[in-house]
A and B are shown apart, each in its own frame.
Chain A
């Protein structure tokens, strides 16, 4: 956050934070966050909800998230269509088996969360390095959950690309299969090439050209949507991130003359 504080006004329309890093936090960091949430629009992008976990939902946690959203005037809450453990947390994202039963199970849990929040949950397609128990395509699975739970989508364009390489699927077909009316915003990020057929979603590099192309195609298919640049590690100079934001804006204005772009370099803090 320190490099950001040197800028009186950031060239962003909204920012994103992980509620798990900020709920229950006081002192210096809490004051600093407040100074940002008072000046900018914020979204919460969660990591620990574990919506697909085989263990029961942590409803107290959901209530704490709701209180946090209210206290800071945060616009919406997105989470990963994923699970991060079982009865014990493992603190990272695993791919839910793409089965009919899992669709029903997850959709039911999303409804429970939405009841507590009093607003729609936004779920994100996640990057994965394996697809255990796969009985349908990921695009089918995501679309079925959206429909059944009546929730919204955070379409992560980088994750679509990463998965297309990792599992030999068609990235553009995935993008096309997503229901336009449910897409609330987009994520774009850099990834790491572990092997020609295995990419790791690190958020630690600049966005690759092929992902920029896929973002442009996403705009062409679904229209210009608010787009957030993710960067969690290996931070470059703030100016380099601003340059990537400019690239988002330029792609957007190529399509039509409005739209929003942002960075979430705050996220790991």
Chain B
């Protein structure tokens, strides 16, 4: 038996399993295998992957309905070459599948990719390998110091209000939607519905070490808005609100003396 031949047997099985049996094994290569034994492998493998998809994307599954969700899971299993060895990252492979291999069918909601991303984000934030920052003062003035964000904060911008999607409310109309997902200081995942303009403030805070005031000024400049007291106060109020919601833990007290 040549070195290629045991690998040929392996590919026979992997392709058979991947295709849910559509591609039969060639008994000239594998030898006889009872159909019920092949079925055990097909079902064990597919159901295992379905378990990971079902638990990460329950709203997608609910909205598409059992039959279409299963069909989509089968298409993922067949077409997408998963590279991660990590089970929690199978959901990331599914997002790649939606971006690369999925072709929408009549009846699929137009926001499926965005909803899947939003559902994945909850998991990604929950398990992100980052610790809560320790170097901050919860009582520091946010305006004159560098605000400190809670761990694993992610802002996302969608064309549809996917946070409102459910089987009972699946006919969403397009509406620019900004959402923030983060872990509060108890490491519980929290969600904030905001607006695209305010999301810009978060992006600035994530990008640069700026005091709260400088971040608001940068946001106003970026939007081509005048630097009025009202606008500035409005921006600072958002920061205070974010602290109440646990998105901001406080501010770094050494920021000014550093520069």
Q: Which residue of B lies closest to A61 (CB)?
A: B85
- Judge whether A242 is part of the interface by a CB distance below 8 angstroms: no
- Judge whether A219 is part of the interface by a CB distance below 8 angstroms: no
- Judge whether B6 is part of the interface by a CB distance below 8 angstroms: yes
Distance (Å) between the CB of B26 and the closest chain A CB? 11
20 inter-chain pairs at a CB distance below 8 angstroms, sorted by A residue, are: A20-B86, A21-B88, A24-B129, A26-B127, A28-B188, A30-B127, A53-B10, A54-B10, A54-B11, A86-B10, A90-B18, A90-B45, A91-B52, A91-B82, A92-B48, A100-B1, A130-B33, A130-B41, A198-B37, A198-B40
Q: B130-189: which have CB < 8 Å to A?
A: 130-131, 151-152, 183, 187-188
A88 to B129, CA, bound (A): 25
Task: Tell me whether A87 and B3 are in contact in the complex, defined as CB-CB below 8 angstroms, given that A25-B88, A133-B30, A198-B37 are known contacts.
Answer: no
Task: Tell me whether A90 and B14 are in contact in the complex, defined as CB-CB below 8 angstroms, given that A101-B2, A101-B5, A133-B6 are known contacts.
Answer: yes
Task: Tell me whether A129 and B5 are in contact in the complex, defined as CB-CB below 8 angstroms, given that A21-B87, A91-B48 are known contacts.
Answer: no
Task: Tell me whether A97 and B9 are in contact in the complex, defined as CB-CB below 8 angstroms, given that A24-B86, A25-B127, A130-B41 are known contacts.
Answer: yes
Say which size band chain A's interface belongs to.
35 or more
Task: Give chain A's interface residues, CB within 8 Å of chain B.
Answer: 20-21, 23-31, 48-50, 52-54, 58, 61, 83, 85-92, 94, 96-97, 99-102, 105, 129-130, 132-135, 194-195, 198, 200
Could you give, for residues 204-236 of chain B, a 1 whenever the CB lies within 8 Å of some chain A CB and a 0 otherwise? 000000000000000000000000000000000
Is B33 within 8 A of A91, CB to CB?
no
Is B9 within 8 A of A133, CB to CB?
yes
Task: Tell me whether A101 and B3 are in contact in the complex, defined as CB-CB below 8 angstroms, given that A88-B80, A132-B30 are known contacts.
Answer: yes
Is B41 within 8 A of A94, CB to CB?
yes
- Judge whether B105 is part of the interface by a CB distance below 8 angstroms: no
A94 to B42, CA, bound (A): 11
Instruction: Please tell me which one of the listed residues B44, B126, B130 contacts residue A92 in the complex, with CB atoms under 8 A apart.
Output: B44
Is A132 within 8 A of B86, CB to CB?
no
- Judge whether B84 is part of the interface by a CB distance below 8 angstroms: yes
Task: Tell me whether A97 and B36 are in contact in the complex, defined as CB-CB below 8 angstroms, given that A27-B127, A130-B41 are known contacts.
Answer: no
A30 to B31, CA, bound (A): 46
Number of interface residues of B (CB under 8 A): 51
Instruction: Please tell me which one of the listed residues A31, A105, A129, A132 contacts residue B9 in the complex, with CB atoms under 8 A apart.
Output: A132
A195 to B34, CA, bound (A): 13
- Judge whether B90 is part of the interface by a CB distance below 8 angstroms: yes
A54 to B8, CA, bound (A): 9
9 A-B pairs closest in CB distance: A48-B85, A88-B81, A26-B129, A54-B7, A133-B9, A132-B30, A97-B6, A89-B82, A130-B37
Is B10 within 8 A of A88, CB to CB?
no
Distance (Å) between the CB of B16 and the closest chain A CB? 10
A133 to B5, CA, bound (A): 9
- Judge whether B64 is part of the interface by a CB distance below 8 angstroms: no
- Judge whether B128 is part of the interface by a CB distance below 8 angstroms: yes
Distance (Å) between the CB of B240 and the closest chain A CB? 26
Distance (Å) between the CB of A168 and the closest chain B CB? 13
Instruction: Please tell me which one of the listed residues A25, A99, A100 contacts residue B129 in the complex, with CB atoms under 8 A apart.
Output: A25
Could you give, for residues 62-106 of chain B, a 1 whenever the CB lies within 8 Å of some chain A CB and a 0 otherwise? 000000000000000000111111111110000000000000000
Q: A48-B85, A90-B18 are in contact. List 6 more A-B contacts (CB 8 A).
A: A21-B88, A28-B126, A91-B48, A94-B10, A97-B9, A130-B38
A81 to B127, CA, bound (A): 30
A19 to B130, CA, bound (A): 18
A29 to B183, CA, bound (A): 13
- Judge whether B17 is part of the interface by a CB distance below 8 angstroms: yes
Q: Which residues of A contact B115 (CB under 8 A)?
A: none
- Judge whether B109 is part of the interface by a CB distance below 8 angstroms: no
A134 to B126, CA, bound (A): 45
Q: Which residues of A contact B131 (CB under 8 A)?
A: 26
Task: Tell me whether A129 and B40 are in contact in the complex, defined as CB-CB below 8 angstroms, given that A24-B86, A87-B81 are known contacts.
Answer: yes
Q: Which residues of B contact A90 (CB under 8 A)?
A: 14, 17-18, 45, 49, 82
Most buried by A among B6, B13, B44, B126: B6
Is A132 within 8 A of B31, CB to CB?
yes
Q: Which residues of A contact B87 (CB under 8 A)?
A: 20-21, 91
Q: Which residues of B contact A49 (CB under 8 A)?
A: 85
A27 to B82, CA, bound (A): 25
Distance (Å) between the CB of B59 and the closest chain A CB? 22
Instruction: Please tell me which one of the listed residues A28, A53, A88 contacts residue B82 in the complex, with CB atoms under 8 A apart.
Output: A88
A202 to B62, CA, bound (A): 28
Distance (Å) between the CB of A215 and the closest chain B CB? 25
Q: Which residues of B contact A97 (CB under 8 A)?
A: 6, 9-10
